[in-house]
Homo-oligomer: A and B are copies of this chain.
Amino acid sequence: MKKLCFLLLACSFFTLSAQQLESPSKQIQVEFSLDAKGTPTYSVTYKGKEVVKTSKMGLSLKEDTALVQGFSLVNKEETNVDETWNPVLGEQSTIRNHYNQASFHLLQKETNRKLDIVFKVYDEGVAFRYEFPSEDAVRYFVVSEENTEFNLTGDHNTFWIPGDFDSQEYVYSESKLSEIDNSKLDLNNGIALKSIESKYRVQSPLMMKSKDGLYLNIFEAAVVNYPVMHLDVNTENFELKSKLVPNAVGDMAYLRTPSVTPWRTIMVSDDARDIVASKMILNLNEPNKIEDVSWIKPMKYVGIWWEMHVGKSTWDFAGSQNAQNAASQELVPSGKHGATTENTKRYIDFAAKHGFDGVLVEGWNVGWEDWFGNWKEDVFDFVTPYPDFDLKEVSDYAKSKGVKMIMHHETSASVANYERHLDRAFNLMKEYGYPAVKSGYVGRIIPRGEFHDGQTMVNHFNYVAQRAADYKIMVNSHESVRPTGYSRTYPNYIAAEAARGNEFNAWSSGNDPKHETILPFTRLLGGPMDYTPGIFEIKMSVYDPEKTEQVHTTLAKQLALYVTMYSPLQMAADLPENYEKYLDAFQFIKDVPVDWQDSKYLEAEPGDYLSVARKDKNSESWFLGAITDENARKTEIKLDFLTPGKKYKATIYADGKNADWEKNPKSYAIKTRTVTSKTKLKLELAAGGGAAISIVPIN
């Protein structure tokens, strides 16, 4: 399956005329060059149009000469790769990795220092990284900034969130590049901790659309032992520059030879579906390092979680997160504690009855009375349950019902404390048979001075995945670094939040109706998201008449999200009693798989709509999700991905008549019909609506 050809230009120290490299399809061309000062530069064209103008490359170092100029080309290697691999879990069972590669071996004469710049050109985009090869002496060095430019050719329409070093939990702003300005954002958005240092800094993945209809995406892959890259935008000339996230003392990355940076990626296409369907980010990561993957399994789960978000119960045992109670020796129960043995059994019963794999319980362990906001080092110990939560009884009961328990580790961002207790915490999970953990990182990081997105924390998140693999534990992290494909390397790092999830709809301004049409073009490119869809009781007024918060979708769109928001770990986030009221709609959540043979992106426009069909990993059934933004939408879907000649029963969970995310969100209609590969399916999506369809072979 692997085709590899090698070409070595042995001409040493030749003067560099511009070097070209193109994608297998020949539609993307990259030009690499050294300018008069010996500064590396690159530019990118797509179908003959320039999409990235000549842009400089390089790195500034803390104690050494900057790696920005004075380079000459020693030699160049070219390779073509066309191979396939099989993810443990995924949107498709086979992934093709097909690119042309060029490695430019540079020498900085003044310092006698080597630097390699390696390009991989895929059909959907360009990736490059810096490599620091082995030298005669091992070199330690500190990166003080990365000076990678992405000089764009126009004032593109852009989907952006501010360059916050601690949070990505923002709704996307849609504006021209020239209009980016963090100081104009409404920051009353429910995010507890914000670290925005610059008006013109945004995060990647940065999704854009040019005036002439090209879709552009700037991101990175394989962020390992390196900080996250944000982007500083020049709003006048549309030049973007890398901005790494610093550590407590202002350094960016501690490296030694040999090592590499993450890949910097520029995806480009005139078809938005090429961006959302791309597996380039995964491909750019190292292959799976876990030998035995038999324990890595997809999971659909319910849990004691949404009931806290809506105010029905509390995480803490003694009151509503009241530090005063925590100070006293004896906690007095408030009666509102969610994670009781009894309530957990209720969820286990519900999971067993409806065929869910797992039950998550948050708030099971002591510490929630005083867990947040005080930059406190010792918060949770991850092993001591509240007196009303019996670990053994719960896990025995779950086992008797064939349901797996999902552990919860809120760290309060006290990472030092979490690492101290990690082995004890994982041992407890093994003792009681918990196969997966949801971790949380709410608050200011300890070690103090570190940001969520710095090298220290990148290393932490990757370490937890590695250590969890030693224990055969799957990890789903919240408030963590956004993924950049590391789940290829550690497939037990099964999901992350790392973007604005559904929970914000319960108690803040929430997520606007276009939010879920943007995430597949941004956050999801790096890996699965635990978005926690499936909220049926859309309006929070059902819990308290004074509440005005609501989920910004229709009920049908909540169903569609199980298909549009890929994750092998999916929650049915609403309360069991709410699902009991809408069992016909709930049937879709029960039926939809979370691991796939294949995925077909049928329609895609960032900020507007998305339609995707996926084939169950273990059957011939297909599932289709279609969503729209705040605008109602009519569409016709061709089912030509179905096996020709085969008949299927389609069950269509659609928005009801007059459905509307704001005025009438719970209106839905379920229809069934027989379909074939020739069927064209007309769908009408309400404002903020969607449709979910199961397509099951007949015999």
Residue numbers of A with Cβ under 8 A of B are 134, 137-138, 140, 247-249, 251, 254, 256-258, 323-324, 326-327, 370, 374-377, 416, 419-420, 422-424, 447-450, 456, 459, 463, 467
Contact = CB atoms under 8 A, between A and B. Distances in A.
Contacts of A448: 247-249, 251, 447, 456
Contacts of A422: 420
Given A447-B447, A447-B456, A456-B447, A138 B247 contact: no
A251 B444 CA distance: 14
Contacts of A137: 323-324
Contacts of A374: 140, 254, 256
A632 B76 CA distance: 74
A377 B254 contact: yes
Contacts of A370: 138
A463 B421 CA distance: 12
A247 B377 CA distance: 13
Contacts of A323: 137-138
Given A137-B324, A370-B138, A449-B449, A377 B423 contact: no
Given A140-B376, A327-B134, A420 B248 contact: no
A1 to B, nearest CB: 28
Contact of A254 (B140, B257, B376, B424): B376
B138 A327 contact: yes
A132 to B, nearest CB: 12
28 contacts: A134-B327, A137-B323, A137-B324, A138-B323, A138-B326, A138-B327, A140-B374, A248-B248, A248-B249, A248-B449, A251-B448, A254-B374, A254-B375, A256-B374, A256-B376, A257-B327, A258-B327, A377-B459, A416-B416, A416-B447, A416-B456, A419-B419, A419-B420, A420-B422, A420-B467, A447-B447, A447-B449, A447-B450
A567 to B, nearest CB: 28
Contacts of A463: 420
Given A249-B449, A416-B456, 4 more contacts: A137-B323, A254-B377, A258-B327, A416-B416
Q: So how many copies of this chain end up in the complex? A: 2
In the A-B complex, the 6 residue pairs with the closest CB atoms: A447-B447, A248-B449, A248-B248, A423-B423, A140-B374, A138-B323
Nearest to A427: B423
A463 B248 CA distance: 23
A531 B66 CA distance: 45
A9 B327 CA distance: 28
Contacts of A419: 416, 419-420
B248 A447 contact: yes
A520 B558 CA distance: 72
A369 to B, nearest CB: 10
Contacts of A140: 374, 376
A383 to B, nearest CB: 12
A247 B459 CA distance: 21
Nearest to A322: B138
Nearest to A137: B324
A618 B262 CA distance: 64
Interface-central residue, A134, A419, A467, by most chain B CB under 10 Å: A419
Contacts of A257: 327
A254 B374 CA distance: 9
Contact of A138 (B254, B324, B377, B424): B324
Contact of A423 (B375, B424, B447): B424
Nearest to A467: B420
A138 B449 CA distance: 24
A56 to B, nearest CB: 29
A564 to B, nearest CB: 38
Contacts of A467: 420
A533 B671 CA distance: 88
Interface-central residue, A140, A370, A459, by most chain B CB under 10 Å: A140
A248 B249 CA distance: 7
Contacts of A447: 248, 416, 447-450, 456
A450 B422 CA distance: 22
Contacts of A449: 247-249, 447, 449
A475 to B, nearest CB: 16
Contacts of A424: 423
Nearest to A142: B375
A139 to B, nearest CB: 9
A258 B327 CA distance: 9
A247 B449 CA distance: 9
A420 B420 CA distance: 6
Contacts of A423: 423-424
Nearest to A450: B447
Nearest to A136: B324
